[in-house]
Amino acid sequence: MKRKVPIAIIFVVGQFLAFFMDGSISQILSGTLFKYPNTMVPCLTMMWLILAAFFGNSKKLHLSAWAAIIGFIFDMYYTGILGVYVFIFPLVVYLCQVIYQQLPPSFMSGFLVYFLGITVLVTLGFVANAFIGQASTSVSQFLVNTLAPTLALNLVFLAILYFPIETLYRTHRR
Amino acid sequence: MQKFFSSRKLVIVIVCLIISFGLMTVSVAIRNKRSTPPMIQQFGNDIVGFADRVVAVPMNGVQHGFVSVKNLLNTYQENQRLKSKVDLLAQTQVKDQTLERENKQLKRQLNVGSTLTGYEKINAAVITRTPSSWASQVIINKGQAAGVKKDMPVIAGPGLIGTIAEVNKTNSKVVLVSNTAENSNRFAIQIVGSDSKVVNGIITSYDSQSNRIVMGNITSKAKLAKGDRVSTSGLGGTIPKGIYVGTVSKIAEDDYGLAKKVYIKPAANLNDIEVVSVAVRE
C-alpha cells in the first residue's frame, strides 16, 4: 500500500495554497467581486483554518501558531500594514473551535459557526482599518456593501468545499 | 464564562491589543515616510512573491483562456466598430509624429532639455490583488531591481490607475485611485476647458458609490463642461505631465457652496487590470 502523506503537511501546503488563491481569485474576478458599490472578499485561508479546527486535531496541527504565521504573511504581503490579521486569524480560529465544541457535529452547526467566524473576521478587519484611516465608510454602508456580500460569497465557497475537506480529514484520521 | 475571562487570558488579550496597535501605527508611519519597507519585510515579501507566481501564473492562464473565447465571440462587432476609428487614428498618429518632431526641434532651439512631459515606461504584470475591501491594491512583478520607486504613477491601458505605495526588490504594491483611504489619492491634475483655459487641482477623494474620482476645492471661474479631458499636471513630485486620467462627468458645488467639486470618470477600468506600466520621469 502507498504510504499516506501526513495530514500536518497537507494542512500547511493547503493553507498556503488557499492564501495565494485568495489573491488570485480577487485579481481574476475583480470585475465581479469589486463591482461598485459592493465588495466581496474571498476568505479561503480563513475557511481552511476553521475547517481544520473543526475536523483536525488542533494541538497536533499547531493550529493557532499557523494561524498567526499566515496572518502575519497576509499583513506583510497583501496589505502592508502589520499587526491586523496576525491577531485576528488566531482569535477567530479559537472562537470557532470553542463554539463548535458546544454544538453537535453536523454540516448545519459548522455552517453557523463559519458564518459567525467570517462575521467576526470582516468586522474586526473593518474596525482595525477604520482605526488607521484606511476604511472611511459608515457602519451601515459597511454592513450592506461589504459584510453581506462577503458572507454570501464565502458561504457558497463553504458549501462547495465542506464535504471534500471533511472527507480528507476523515480518511486521514483512520 | 468564568474560565473564559480568567486573569491570565485577559492579560494576554491586552498585551496582544497593545502590540497590534503599536505595529499598525509603526507600519502606517513607515509607509507614509520611508521609500522602502524595512529589510526583513522586504525580504519576506520577495519570497512570498516568488511563491505566489507558482499559483498566480496558472490561474491567470486559465483566465486568459476564458477571455480569449469571449473575445472571439465579440470580435465581429468590435471589428465593425474599430474599422470606423482606424482612419482617424492613422491621421492622429501622423500628426502626433510631426508635432513631436517639431517639439523636439523647438526645444533644442530654445535650449530646453527635459520638460515635465517626458517619461519612460517600465512594463509589469499584475501578480495578485489584495483580498480586502479596504485596500484597493494590486501587486506587480517589478520592483527596486527594475528601477521602480515609491510614488511613481502607474498606467494601465488608456490612463492613470494609481501610484506605487511600497517597493520590494522584485515586486511592488500599487494603490489604485479607487482606494478610499484618507492619505492616498493626492495627484496634481488639470482640466483643459472648452475655452482652452486650464484648471489646476488635486484629486481629493474617490466616490465608490458611483466609481468617480473627485477633484475638490476648485475656485477657478473657468468654464468646464461634461466630457472635458483630465490629465496629470506634472506639478509637485514625481508624476510627469500629460498622463490621461479621465473625463469630466459631473460638476457640483462643494458642501459649503464656495468651491466647485468635479467628478471624473476614470479612463482605465480599475477592476480589470492585467498589465501595467510604471511611468518614470526622465
pLDDT tens by residue, B79-132: 888 887 887 888 888 888 888 888 888 888 887 666 667 788 888 888 888 888
Report domain extents, chain A: 7-173
- What does the pLDDT read at residue B162? 87
- DSSP letters of B53-96? HHHHHHHHHHHHHHHHHHHHHHHHHHHHHHHHHHHHHHHHHHHH
pLDDT tens by residue, B45-73: 888 888 888 888 888 788 778 777 877 87
Contact status, residue A48 vs residue A15, Cβ threshold 8 Å: yes
Listed in order, strand segments (DSSP E) in chain B are 119-129, 137-140, 153-156, 159-167, 172-176, 188-192, 198-207, 212-218, 229-233, 241-253, 260-266, 275-281
Q: Which of A81, A126, A131 to substitute to test the interface with B, most B CBs within 10 Å?
A: A81
Which residues of chain A are within 8 Å of residue B25 when distances are taken between CB atoms? 132
**pLDDT tops 80 at residue B11:** yes
ipTM: 0.84
**Alpha-helical runs (H) found in B111-182:** none
- What does the pLDDT read at residue B257? 75
Which residues of chain B are within 8 Å of residue A22 when distances are taken between CB atoms? 131
pLDDT tens by residue, B127-138: 888 888 888 889
- What does the pLDDT read at residue A92? 93
Closest CB to B131: pick one of A16, A23, A76. A23
**pLDDT tops 80 at residue B34:** no
Q: State the angle between helix axes of A44-55 and A107-131 in degrees (0 to 180), rounded to the nearest 10.
A: 140
pLDDT tens by residue, B249-268: 888 887 777 788 889 888 88
- Measured CA to CA, the distance from residue B168 to residue B170 in angstroms comes to 6
| Type of residue found at A117 | G
Which residues of chain B are within 8 Å of residue A36 when distances are taken between CB atoms? 208-211
Domains belonging to chain B, first-starting first, are 188-266 (2.40.10.350)
Q: Which of A27, A91, A95 to substitute to test the interface with B, most B CBs within 10 Å?
A: A27
Contacts of B257 (CB under 8 A, 6+ apart): none
- Measured CA to CA, the distance from residue B50 to residue B171 in angstroms comes to 9
For chain A, which ranges sit under pLDDT 50?
A: none
Contact status, residue A25 vs residue B129, Cβ threshold 8 Å: no
**pLDDT tops 70 at residue B185:** no
